[in-house]
Structure 1
Amino acid sequence: MTTGGVEEKNKKKKTACVTGGNGYIAAALIKVLLEKGYAVKTTVRNPDDRAKNSHLKVLQALGPLEVYRADLDAEGSFDDAVAGCDYAFLIAAPVNLTSDNPEKDQIEPSLRGILNVMMSCVKSGTVRRVVLTSSAGVVCIRPLEGDSHVLDEESWSNLDYVTAEKPPIWGYVVSKVLVEKEALRSAQENDISMVSLCPVLIVGASPVSKVYTSVPAALSLLSGDEAAFEMLKCIEKTYGGVQVVDLDDLCRAQLFVAETETASGRYVCCGFNTTVVEMARSGHLLEKPRVCLSSTKLVREGFEFKVKTLDDTYDGLIKYGKTLGILPW
């Protein structure tokens, strides 16, 4: 009689904390982790809000999922959620794109929040790696002349340029740059392994029933939503193109950089680079991207994107849009 089955049964599940469990990205990552056999602990500001958290109840059918109350502004509130975890995926972040005072409403809360969560990771004594989900906004918002720019992890958005030009999402960009640098400083000071992922425009189906920005923007050419289409054009103007990654690929990349011991530093997460014109196959905007974001580092280390074309992206996205009511037909 072999003991392999008994050993496998007794082997402790890996445990991951995912902050911001009622968000679009976090909910999808929780689903992937549970399907991979992880035990998951997630945080939300108000566990009693059934409307925002109903998808977590559904996800609990997939595996062990515990929901904790935590607030980025409340020092120590992430301690219980992070305690005993092997990995911490930091996704929760303040998002206030319409504030008249981004310094007060976006930047300062973001910095307080990242330091709060990082200290919980330090106190846990168990976290092998922190994975920070950042944004391509930390890479490519900088003065660039002409076309055919290829940017990677070596590039940082220029905050002097951002604060001078003040694009519509300038406060968000500044907060993301400062948060990533502050998280890295904290990790180095406290001897914690940390990597950051910088995803581009994220599209794809998530367990949540409400989404903002990326999915409505990507579907605006079909939905006719003028405000969402203006957002898509704003993304192209600000980023020098429309860089896209499928949500499932992003979640796989998050898990990949967590589990790959040699992973380090920053990773751009971009499935492909396109433009509004290519998405619409008509119009008078950019015909080709001025800026392409390169995920060569991620691919070189062994990751493979499953979704690499617009057609592949829209196959699943249209179905999700119908489910959400963004597309009525």
Structure 2
Amino acid sequence: MSRENHDHSSNKGSPVLWMSAVERKTACVTGGNGYIASALIKMLLEKGYAVNTTVRNPDNTEKNCHFKGMQALGPLKVFSADLQEEGSFDEAVAGCDYAFLVAAPVNLRAENPEKELMESGVRGTLNVMRSCVKAGTVRRVVLTSAAAAVSCRPLQGDGHVLDESSWSDVEYLSSAAKMSPGQAYSISKVVSEKEASKLAEENGISLVTVCPVLTVGAAPARKAHTSVPAALALFSGDEEMFNTLKHIEMASGSLPLVHVDDLCRAEVLLAEKPATAGRYICCSLDTTILQLARSLATKYPQYNVNIDAVGDHPENPRIRLSSEKLVGAGFEFTYKTIDDMYDESFMEYGKALGILPC
């Protein structure tokens, strides 16, 4: 069942919102109470789209309260759907022009990473893809993958530039005696991409995949897991999240960053532009924890960032993730430096989420 979260009487006086149903395109965004998905929904509504989104429980007011704040922007319908239930996305995708597959299991404390992350992640992606096939109206599917599907591989030396032809090494990631949640997450992204591509080709679905890096910046969602707490760990002192930052740098050879607004703009461009195809890395800046700590200590002295806590980590990135393909498609990043990305709005967002002290 869908839940209508939009009051059409609020449309008066706005030329965008008076757009006819014929002119207005409809997009489905899965996992609407997630960090990236919430920002994408807001952007699509502001661009004049009608949006269908999915959550597991539409009645959970704590997780879904941000939808109310988007009511005035445009038509927003909220559907109940579960990644593990085949067919549960049929209603949300029906009649849509575009589908943005953002929802995915992320649990860095998973007790059974193979089942909770790998199997669930791939199954969820394919369930939504099958709903897109059934709909028969979807012009383009945009799958949000991750840089974890690109850069987790053995690398010798420094100065590597990785592009869309690079894949994380599944055999290497699977070789550990006990698979970590991080390794399982990377594998799930690789397999999900490849299986989605295969299903799309077999069924004549136009698919593009976006591989974002560690994503920062404010979003409408009132809860954010992993990415935002990790990005703010140098301020919060959260040891677990700080270790997540270290793991990213150790596993991939850099600490790559992108602002959530840039990521969402990239996804919309790749959906709308007919000539786009295949994978696109979305990375605005390759840095390191040491560079990040120094920059943030200078910009926000009131937080007493402990640069010494970074320990023995390299000054410069060992690799660079190239977004040349994305830029070649006509995209330009707005947020290009640490100062740009860690602005006051991001700090305020961290306070609103309870990650930073008010």
- Is TM (by shorter chain) over 0.5? yes
Question: In structure 2, what residue type is equivalent to 1:198?
Answer: C
Is residue 288 of structure 1 aligned with residue 301 of structure 2? no
1:220-299 mapped onto 2 (5 Å cutoff): 220-281=233-294, 282-283=307-308, 284-299=312-327
Distance apart, 1:11 and its partner CA: 4.0
Distance apart, 1:9 and its partner CA: 4.6
Which of 129, 141, 166 aligns to 2:140? It is 129
Structure 2 unaligned runs (5+)?
Answer: 1-15, 295-306
1:88-237 mapped onto 2 (5 Å cutoff): 88-165=99-176, 166=179, 169-237=182-250
Could you report, residue by residue, the CA deviation over 1:58-110 in whole angstroms, capped at 9, with x for unpaired residues? 21221100000111111111011000000000011122322232222221112
1:11-30 mapped onto 2 (5 Å cutoff): 11-30=22-41
Question: In structure 2, what residue type is equivalent to 1:187?
Answer: A
The answer as to whether partners of 1:129 and 1:194 remain within 8 angstroms in 2 is: yes
Distance apart, 1:129 and its partner CA: 0.3
Distance apart, 1:167 and its partner CA: 5.4
Q: In structure 2, what is the Cα distance between the partners aligned to 1:275 and 1:155? A: 21
Q: In structure 2, what is the Cα distance between the partners aligned to 1:51 and 1:102? A: 27
Using structure 1 for the length normalisation, give the TM-score. 0.95
Residue aligned with 1:254, SS: helix
Greater mean deviation of Cα atoms: 245-254 or 50-59: 50-59
Counterpart of 2:303 in structure 1 is none
Greater mean deviation of Cα atoms: 141-150 or 103-112: 103-112
Residue aligned with 2:173, SS: helix
Question: In structure 2, what residue type is equivalent to 1:326?
Answer: I
Question: Taking every aligned residue pair, what percent have the same amino acid on both sides?
Answer: 60
Greater mean deviation of Cα atoms: 276-285 or 65-74: 276-285
The answer as to whether partners of 2:117 and 2:181 remain within 8 angstroms in 1 is: no
The answer as to whether partners of 2:160 and 2:318 remain within 8 angstroms in 1 is: yes
Distance apart, 1:214 and its partner CA: 1.4
Q: In structure 1, what is the Cα distance between the partners aligned to 2:109 and 2:347? A: 28
Could you report, residue by residue, the CA deviation over 1:38-58 in whole angstroms, capped at 9, with x for unpaired residues? 000000111111111111122
The answer as to whether partners of 1:167 and 1:238 remain within 8 angstroms in 2 is: no
Q: In structure 1, what is the Cα distance between the partners aligned to 2:21 and 2:104? A: 36
Using structure 2 for the length normalisation, give the TM-score. 0.87
Counterpart of 2:357 in structure 1 is 328
Counterpart of 1:319 in structure 2 is 348
Structure 1 unaligned runs (5+)?
Answer: none
Residue aligned with 1:74, SS: coil
